[in-house]
Amino acid sequence: MSKKRKKEIEEKPYRKPLVKKRKPNRSIAGDIALYLFLLLVAAIMVFPIVYAVNAALKPLDELFMFPPRIFAKNPTINNFADLFVTMGKSWVTFSRYLFNTVFITAVGTAGHLMIASMGAFVLAKYDFPGNAFFFKIVTVAMMFSYYVTGIPNYILINKLGWIDTYWAIIIPAFASPMGLFLMKQFMEGLPTSLIEAAKIDGANEWKVFFRIVMPNVKPAWMTLIIFSVQGLWNNRASTFIYSEERKTLVFALQQIQAGGIARTGQGAAVLVVVMIVPILIFIFSESQILETMASSGLKD
């Protein structure tokens, strides 16, 4: 190549190749129909939440109105005020019920996440005798509901001496097969070459797990947190916990809800209080999950 030609190439500004934008195959009418369908589905899904919140804001006369109205005509927060007054009259304080529920939910979720993630990492990325058989046991365990395993669980927990303690709820949450299955299926899509490269650079198993594997499977464990929090927060724990000072908030609120017609307004407020935490966790986690799923795709 001549010096003149080389100089022209060096001085010529770089231009990105033009990429033709792919046009969707759908027509405008198809797009409109799709958006209308999605809008209908969204309205159906959000309707129970809107109705529950408005029911909690209705005075007692509107709650018994027939035909019932979706929106409160004269919204008030008296139902929530009455609920906290009723809770305040209990010999166990509201803060104690709240602490019990938060402690069980936080410890149970953290333990479930760690144990399920570590077990899934071994099953997904290591070959050992009985690997496939063990995962089949986990899959079969998902087929059995709580009502099938309730009696064996109670006998085992009773023999361990955990009846009427927090651990009767927390420890079984660690071993939920759903979390292990979810994490294992997601970790199988993680490139093995990425893990091998980290080990070549001197990373041990713990560094590989915490710095390589867990950040790249964030969508899976964020979803796992949502499911675990929802299950533990709404757990009445009445089967294993008998002492009033160790009972959960949901149990206390549902006792108020069962107080009869006079507490119908409080019952509507109870429903909102019980469902608000899982909904908020999902709302704050949704954008992060979608963003991570869109940007963390890795291929071998």
Q: What is the CATH number of the domain that holds 162?
A: 1.10.3720.10
List b or e across 242-262, with b for residues whose CB sees 16 or more CB atoms inside 10 angstroms.
eeeebbbbbbbbbebbeeeee
Residues 144, 150, 153, CA angle at the centre, nearest 5°?
105
Domain assignment present for residue 11? The answer is: no
pLDDT at 292 over 70: no
Confidence of residue 297 (pLDDT cuts 50, 70, 90): very low
155 domain-assigned: yes
Residue 21 lies inside a defined structural domain of this protein: no
Does 283 score more than 80 pLDDT? no
Of the listed ranges 50-54, 116-120, 217-221, 280-284, the least confidently predicted one is 280-284
pLDDT of residue 107: 92
Task: Give me the number of domains the chain comprises.
Answer: 1
| Ranges of H-type helices in 126-213 | 131-141, 146-160, 167-174, 177-187, 192-200, 205-207
* Structural domain containing residue 137: 82-295
With respect to residue 250, please indicate whether it lies within any of the assigned structural domains.
yes
Q: Model pTM?
A: 0.73
**pLDDT of the residue at 260:** 66
126 assigned to some structural domain: yes
Flag whether 166 is in a domain. Answer: yes
Q: What is the pLDDT of residue 48?
A: 85
In a domain, 68, yes or no: no
Instruction: Tell me what pLDDT residue 296 has.
Output: 45
Cα separation of 191 and 132, whole Å?
20
**Do the domain assignments include residue 77?**
no
